[in-house]
Amino acid sequence: MSSNHVTAGLTSELERKIEARKAHVGIIGMGYVGLPLALLFSEQGISVTGFDVDQRKVETLTSGGSYIVRIPPGEVQQARARGFSATADYSHITDMDAVIICVPTPLNEYREPDLSFITSTANSIAPYLRAGQLIVLESTTYPGTTEEVVIPILEKNNRSGLKAARDGGEDAGVFYIAFSPEREDPGRTDIARHDIPKVVGGLDKRASELASALYGCIFRRTVKVSSLAAAEMTKLLENIYRCVNIALVNELKLLCLRMGIDLWEVIEAAKTKPFGYQAFYPGPGLGGHCIPIDPYYLSWKAKQFDFQTKFIELAGEVNSAMPYHVVTAVARALNQHKKALNGSKVLVLGVAYKKDIDDLRESPALTIIELLQEEGAEVSYNDPYFASVGHGRHYNLNMNCAPLDNLGAYDCVLIITDHSDYDYRRIVSEAKLVVDTRNATKGIVAKNVVHC
């Protein structure tokens, strides 16, 4: 048998396993992306093992619990009954047919890509790779990461001299590698996860086909692109598009406030155009793990090509100024009531980065609270999703959630996140002053409401 036959045999073995739903999938990183993905595979009867370095997460999952509000423990328990398990032990990688990497890709203190989670994962799994496995990176990152960073580590550190499969390769000792961006929108309920098409790009055609077949088990449609870099770039295009358009409406909001025009009304009207317009909404600043971060992955990489990504930089400038705009608006609103920000009691409503979710990452509320405190305000917060806010990479607040029962005691109630749980009519009727960054008080006509 020629080595080509051996390679083909390995491919078809994996294909057969995927087709028969007998492939064992390992997912690395049991966070907001990895855990729901694991549950999706499990729902389709596919054996899944979750890997995480966070022992507390492993223990919670092992005992049938959940640490993500929108995933009820019952779902984890059902998956457990179907064979889902979690571990911090990478030696089990050898037992997997496919390994999907969903680890964080933050920015470092200089706002440059921090690939340490990806490189540490690659270093950890490399010794346990075996021929014929499919490795897929899902973490959002700049084009070139899979080929320039992940593959060299996997090739160098595996114990069997395995190489990533490239078209025309004659070596049987290969693993297959692909990139497939995650497209989840936390909190969105109008589209089922399996209805969101899944983009895949492999290092070679077989890797693309295998990744497409694997994801085809859980998504109705997969979209194959020609390379790893094209798949990596697809995710960045989607997020940069969002970031730039949010910056556009944020800038227009500042103008409209000055002109006395209600931009929210304008957006609703513009939305009625059946083509050529997609609505984006202004807010107190960008939040979440994606939009404030991902564009900088590309602007950093662009420098290697002596290229300046001006749209990304400008959008970043406009969006990152929004928390400062909010603080100025609060100071002005208090001034109208003959009060200074210094010494005023301000209640921030909502600290999650968007409505109805339990995710605090990069939330503009954190920056706004810190800025208000710097100006001498006495700040409290309320958020049904967070009993307390401690400290993270960029903040150190150590606050507990304040009750909503004595709103009249605050000089200003500042709406940062428009959670559905809030009764905005009651809030407006009980508070002395409400500053609304989200148009949450839409339709409520009251003198004590200031839009910003």
Ligand X SMILES: NC(=O)c1ccc[n+]([C@@H]2O[C@H](COP(=O)([O-])OP(=O)(O)OC[C@H]3O[C@@H](n4cnc5c(N)ncnc54)[C@H](O)[C@@H]3O)[C@@H](O)[C@H]2O)c1
Which residues contact ligand X by CB under 6 A?
A: 28-34, 51-54, 57, 102-105, 117, 120-121, 124, 138-140, 182, 184, 186, 289-290
- φ, ψ of residue 288 in degrees (nearest 5): 95, 175
With vertex at residue 220, the alpha carbon angle to CA 216 and CA 226, rounded to the nearest 5 degrees, is 60
CB of 296 to ligand X, least distance (A): 12
Instruction: Fill in the amino acid letter for 83.
Output: G
Task: List, in sequence order, the alpha helices (H) in 337-433.
Answer: 364-374, 424-430
Sign, CA torsion 374/378/383/387: positive
Closest CA to 35 of 96, 93, 79, 94: 79
How many of the other CB atoms lie within 10 Å of CB of 179?
34
**Could you give the 3-state DSSP secondary structure of residue 196?**
coil
CB of 350 to ligand X, least distance (A): 18
Instruction: Fill in the amino acid letter for 91.
Output: S
Q: Write the CB contacts of 364 (distance below 8 Å, at least 6 apart in sequence).
A: 283, 284, 285, 286, 287, 322, 323, 326, 353, 416
DSSP 415-431: E-S--TT--HHHHHHH-
The smaller minimum CB distance to ligand X, of residues 44 and 120, is found at 120
CB of 36 to ligand X, least distance (A): 9
The smaller minimum CB distance to ligand X, of residues 103 and 330, is found at 103
Strand partners, 449: 434
CB of 37 to ligand X, least distance (A): 9
CB of 185 to ligand X, least distance (A): 7
Query: Cα–Cα distance between 351 and 383 in angstroms, integer?
Result: 6
The smaller minimum CB distance to ligand X, of residues 5 and 394, is found at 394
State the catalytic residues. Answer: 290
The smaller minimum CB distance to ligand X, of residues 52 and 436, is found at 52
Query: To which H or E segment does residue 354 belong?
Result: none
Query: Taking CB positions, which residue lies at the least distance from ligand X?
Result: 31
The smaller minimum CB distance to ligand X, of residues 219 and 410, is found at 219
